[in-house]
Amino acid sequence: MRIIIFGATGMIGQGALRECLADPRVERVLAVGRRPLGVRDDKLRELRLESFLDYALAEPELSGYDACFYCLGVSAMGLDEAAYRKITYDYALAAGTTLARLNPGLRFLYISGAGTDPSGAGKVMWARVKGQTENALLALPFRSAHMLRPGFIQPLHGIRSKTRAYRIIYALMAPLTPLLRWLAPGFVLTTESLGRAMLRIAREGHAKARLEVADLQQLAP
């Protein structure tokens, strides 16, 4: 398989990248982002862009792939709807539209979130925008598109969130994670299990367009 990862410097993207590089069935990984990863691997290539809205000059680098893991995102904390929509909706649709045209056999996996509003019309801003993004991506002519809705994610293998507030939350929650797994087993994933679930969907597809935590847990070996 040949896989594109958007947002490989983020917590989920780091987990996806780690599992891709460790899987012998993955031939090539293209990491698309603004900053260098600081990772060396023979099957890893990096494409650094200034804008996530215009891919005209990058199109030759984006052809010939089997799957895209779109992990690029931002917390809604401190953002108004226009700013959040630009990063969440506009960036994802610019990438999705380009990749659907260049790679008609591609599976597109979008990292959404638990609690996303599928109607795209609810009162909670982030959930509404995420729902609108899911719906727009599902309308594109991919081989298949899958909206992944993880809940609490436990970072493993030294992976850390880029968001300071999240790093604090994860540090505080670390001693309580075993209890959380016991109390709410259907809400917790690790970066490792999520990455492996994504790889399985990339290989095999899935009957569901929207996958909740329980679905993702079942897919991870």
Section 48-66 average pLDDT = 95
Scan for tokens 């329980």, then name that residue: 214
Section 69-95 average pLDDT = 95
E-assigned strands of 88-143? 107-111
- The predicted structure's pLDDT at residue 199: 98
DSSP letter (8 states) at residue 173: H
- The predicted structure's pLDDT at residue 220: 83
- The predicted structure's pLDDT at residue 189: 85
Q: Rounded CA gap, 69 and 29, in Å?
A: 10
Strand 2-6 relative to strand 28-33, pairing: parallel
- The predicted structure's pLDDT at residue 202: 98
| CA-based nearest residue to 152, from 124, 129, 173, 126 | 173
Find the length of the chain. Answer: 221
SS3 95: helix
DSSP letter (8 states) at residue 159: -
Work out the mean pLDDT of the chain and round it to a whole number: 90
Output the CATH code of domain 2-219. 3.40.50.720
Q: How many CA atoms lie within 13 A of 177 on its CB side?
A: 16
* pLDDT at position 192 over 80: yes
pTM of the model: 0.89
* pLDDT at position 107 over 90: yes
For 201-215, the pLDDT digits (tens) are 999 999 999 999 999
- The predicted structure's pLDDT at residue 154: 82
Question: Which is more confident, 23 or 165?
Answer: 23
For 125-175, the pLDDT digits (tens) are 999 999 999 999 999 999 999 999 998 788 786 766 565 555 555 555 566
Proportion of the chain above pLDDT 90, given as a percent: 74
pLDDT band at 187 (very low <50, low <70, confident <90, very high): low
